[in-house]
């Protein structure tokens, strides 16, 4: 039993009192938020009570690095047209050449 004048809320951590995060701050929802887009996942992560500050900072850095790598890996290759050789006869053509056929002369 606690003394009558003591304040239990000051000494007992929030998790021990049974306070829970709402469903929209659960880990599965945060993961889905990260998969949909970067911003919703980060907002939900930083609103969640429980993880320490260093864990939130590390998770944010890892997710931003993942998105940056995905953006770099998905970017098309850039080639300098001045350095590439012009298409030769062996290169495939997009459309066949038209042959000029003169009209037959009237006799």
- 47-99 confidence digits (pLDDT tens): 999 889 999 999 999 999 999 999 888 877 776 665 555 555 555 656 666 66
Does the model's pTM come out above 0.75? no
Q: Where are the domains of the chain?
A: 13-74
What integer pLDDT is reported at residue 55 of this predicted model?
93
Q: Are the beta carbons of 48 and 21 closer than 8 angstroms? A: yes
The rounded distance, in Å, linking the Cα atoms of 68 and 74 is 10
- 29-60 confidence digits (pLDDT tens): 999 999 888 899 999 999 999 889 999 999 99
What integer pLDDT is reported at residue 13 of this predicted model?
52
Of 72 and 16, which is predicted with more confidence?
A: 72
């Amino acid at each position: 039993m606690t003394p009558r004048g003591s304040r239990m809320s000051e000494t007992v951590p929030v998790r021990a009192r049974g306070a829970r995060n709402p469903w929209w701050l659960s880990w599965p929802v945060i993961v889905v938020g990260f998969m949909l887009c970067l911003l919703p996942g980060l907002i939900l992560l930083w609103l969640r009570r429980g993880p320490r500050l260093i864990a939130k900072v590390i998770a944010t850095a890892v997710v931003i690095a993942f998105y940056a790598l995905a953006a770099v890996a998905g970017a098309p290759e850039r080639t300098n047209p001045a350095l590439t050789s012009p298409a030769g006869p062996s290169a495939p053509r997009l459309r066949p050449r038209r042959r000029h056929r003169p009209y037959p002369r009237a006799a």
